[in-house]
Structure 1
């Protein structure tokens, strides 16, 4: 809930527009330097489950996973649950949106995800995927709105939390970014890249031990 409150606080600013200085800061950080960090995505060979599984049980197993391979297998099952929209049409639109995003056709991908969210407004993964595309376009205001809605419905969505942290980083909100990354790692201890992000931000926000 602490991260969700941070989102709401930042949305007070973002509701009108992302401040110009924040956009300039983000552009300076990424322009000509590197590709932007991406939030976690489901496995490419994700198999959709045939029925619903208790997510509480899966998250408990994930925290107690004995090694990385076991954790990734459980993580894939969680993604499989999240990708179930409950609508055949929404699932089809999601598949097409994923294909469009892979082909770098973000305009089409966004149109398809808009249709997903309109059809299934409570479908968390539709909003999370759309937030990723908004983030890549540096439309941070729209991305934050989608992430706030996603996390209100599924506070354990570690992918959305990492996406939130990345946006906070781009906006220079390092303390909020660190909190989001830490919450994501607490939910999924084997997230790629997140421990390094936490280490770098901890040194920056809290200082190095002397």
Structure 2
């Protein structure tokens, strides 16, 4: 009987650990991110700015536990090989397991964006930002999504916030005069 119980536990844990446990609360990374934002704002060159941007990603990609990290990593691996349906399944699983972990929603939004499902992307980005207001990548992703939805004034305001928080974002180029979110855009 003991051997059967052990086999059942190992099988259950290996195939569906998320169904057997609750996701722990996500760590409060606000102070860490505010510090990185301040450092990005004060960075003297693109090399420093990119290093700080990478450190921000390290914070956002830190899942609450091993099961959540495994789902996040699996979804990202699927995205890298353009298995968007598989990535969505992993991020759906992650969002269901850890509904308070912003990055699960941000990553799922990115897949929706890549698939042209901008309305779905916007919903997930709004959730991600409600959970982690200092998620600069979600801020810029939201701006890009709004831009693709034709909501240019909102997109510009969102991108200005993202670039204020991290002036080294490549998306900042969209704010240049004549660019889609620049001041010369007639839709503003």
TM-score of the aligned structures, taking structure 1 as reference length: 0.69
Higher-RCO chain (CA-CA 8 Å, sequence separation at least 6)? 1
1:195 to 2:172 alignment: yes
Cα distance in 2, alignment partners of residues 141 and 182 from structure 1: 21
The one of 96, 105, 113 aligned to 1:118: 96
- Describe the SS at the equivalent of 2:121: helix
- Name the structure 2 match of 1:178: 156
- Runs (4+) off by over 4 Å: none
Cα distance in 2, alignment partners of residues 205 and 70 from structure 1: 35
- Name the structure 2 match of 1:93: 71
1:144 to 2:126 alignment: no
TM-score of the aligned structures, taking structure 2 as reference length: 0.77
The CA deviation at 1:96 is: 1.0
- Name the structure 2 match of 1:204: 185
How large is the RMSD of aligned CA atoms in angstroms? 1.6
Q: Structure 1's 136 and 206: CA in aligned 2 closer, same or farther, altered over 3 A?
A: closer
> How many residues are matched?
155
Structure 1: runs of 5 or more not aligned? 1-51
Cα distance in 1, alignment partners of residues 133 and 114 from structure 2: 22
Structure 2: runs of 5 or more not aligned? 1-28
